[in-house]
Amino acid sequence: MKNTYIIILACAVLLAVMSCKKHAPVDPIATPAKWKQIAIPYTDGPNYIAQIQGMLFTSVDTGYALGNHFYYPNGTLGTPFLRTTDGGETWTLDTIKISNCVVTKLESYGNYLYAIGAFNVSGATFKIQLYRSGDHAKTWQIINSTYPIGDIHFFDQNNATAISGDSTSTTNNGGINFSTAFIGPAVGHLSCIGNSCYVSGGQAFDGISHGDMIKTTNSGATWQTVTFNSSSFPEIVQHCFLDQNNGYALIYLQTGSIAAITSQDFKLIKTTDGGSSWTIVRSGMANDFGDIVDFHFLDNLNGYMISTSAIYSTSDGGANWQKEFDGSTYTSDHQTFFYLYFTPGNIGFAYGSGVLFKQVK
């Protein structure tokens, strides 16, 4: 009896020591299920998998999604355009009414929808154009065909800030004309809250470091560089700001070449002073979660992230994560998560190549 007690006590001590690790291992998959698969109502031919590459909800119930491009029977380019009016439970297919154009981005303000697309001039020649619709994407008009917009955010019907390559610009007439506001490093991700916007570089498939971030607090009129050491944070995968001061960034680091990577890691970092200083929330994430592609925080404690085959959540600001969905059975044969999006009602969608999942609440 005494020996049995000693064994039980020893096991209890061992479990207590294991639970005191700085970052607990990933918890078992949450039950009941917190994500469900949603049918994608189109295919992209016998040799391709239907892909969702953009999403925008204008209300809790009304949303739009962009598929990867396809060709009409007459040979012209088009973009599969999905609509939902029930919060993303079901989607209907309606090819977006912009011919010879691959739409890559949707934005909205008030009753207007905006689309950024690559118009096929001829052959392999494309031109970036900005379109606007006032009738729920039934018809579109060209607003701008001279400024090569990569992303845009409207503060009101007339004023917006846009990014293009290594510059940011502003418009005060609804996108008809743009004036350059800032020229700096290559940038990729734009996010805005109120009059504050942050722009950061993305993963560099060409091997060039994209560890730069800039910000504005006056609707894009002036910009300044965010001060963290880009040699320590060489590639910013994604960023998420909750307000003007509090935000997160996901950093990717690697050694070796693109062709022969010797080591890689993801780090989650946080700022509480608008980017003047950053602290590491968690490192070593490549070993724990694999290839992380996107993340989003709802507040300072609660957030979500996706790898190419799984969905995770945190309730302690990113220190520890629980696997909410294991998509390994769905993400084979080129079916892969790429993006994470939250609606105005804070309902999440994880989507990408051949997969579309909605959060269950």
The per-residue pLDDT for 347 is 96
Q: Is the pLDDT confidence value at 186 over 70?
A: no
Give residue 118's pLDDT band: very low, low, confident or very high (50, 70, 90): confident
The per-residue pLDDT for 327 is 77
Q: Which helix (H) or strand (E) holds 5?
A: helix 2-18
Q: Is the pLDDT confidence value at 261 over 80?
A: no
Q: Which of 116, 136, 134, 150 is nearest to 64 (CA)?
A: 136
Q: Which of 336, 232, 246, 340 is nearest to 290 (CA)?
A: 336
The per-residue pLDDT for 138 is 85
Q: Which of 109, 184, 187, 185 is nearest to 153 (CA)?
A: 109
Q: How far is CA 360 from each of CA 213, 309, 324, 345, rounded to the nearest angstrom?
A: 34, 18, 11, 12
DSSP state, 244? Answer: S
The rounded Cα 318 to chain-centroid distance in angstroms is 17
Higher model confidence: residue 282 or residue 254?
282
For 33-359, give the CATH class.
Answer: mainly beta
Average pLDDT rounded to a whole number, residues 307-315? 93
Cβ atoms of 201 and 184 closer than 8 Å:
no
Q: Is the pLDDT confidence value at 1 over 70?
A: no
The per-residue pLDDT for 55 is 95
The per-residue pLDDT for 207 is 46
Residue 137 token pair:
């994407």
Q: Is the pLDDT confidence value at 27 over 70?
A: no
Computed over every residue of the chain, the mean pLDDT equals 81
Give residue 189's pLDDT band: very low, low, confident or very high (50, 70, 90): confident
The per-residue pLDDT for 21 is 39
Q: Which of 335, 247, 322, 238 is nearest to 34 (CA)?
A: 322
Higher model confidence: residue 30 or residue 227?
227
Q: Is the pLDDT confidence value at 345 over 70?
A: yes
Give residue 12's pLDDT band: very low, low, confident or very high (50, 70, 90): very low
Average pLDDT rounded to a whole number, residues 267-295? 91
The per-residue pLDDT for 76 is 63
Q: Which of 8-12, 66-70, 298-302 is predicted least confidently?
A: 8-12
Query: In the chain, what percentage of residues exceed pLDDT 90?
Result: 47
The per-residue pLDDT for 99 is 76
- Determine the 3-state secondary structure of 243 from DSSP: coil
Give residue 188's pLDDT band: very low, low, confident or very high (50, 70, 90): confident
- Determine the 3-state secondary structure of 336 from DSSP: strand
Give residue 84's pLDDT band: very low, low, confident or very high (50, 70, 90): very high
* Per-domain boundaries in the chain: 33-359
Q: Which helix (H) or strand (E) holds 349?
A: strand 348-353
Average pLDDT rounded to a whole number, residues 150-162? 95
pTM: 0.84
Give residue 165's pLDDT band: very low, low, confident or very high (50, 70, 90): confident
Average pLDDT rounded to a whole number, residues 18-27? 45
Instruction: Using the structure block, give the residue that is written with the tokens 């950024």.
Output: 116
Average pLDDT rounded to a whole number, residues 56-72? 85
Dist CA 66 CA 298 (whole Å): 24
Higher model confidence: residue 341 or residue 95?
341
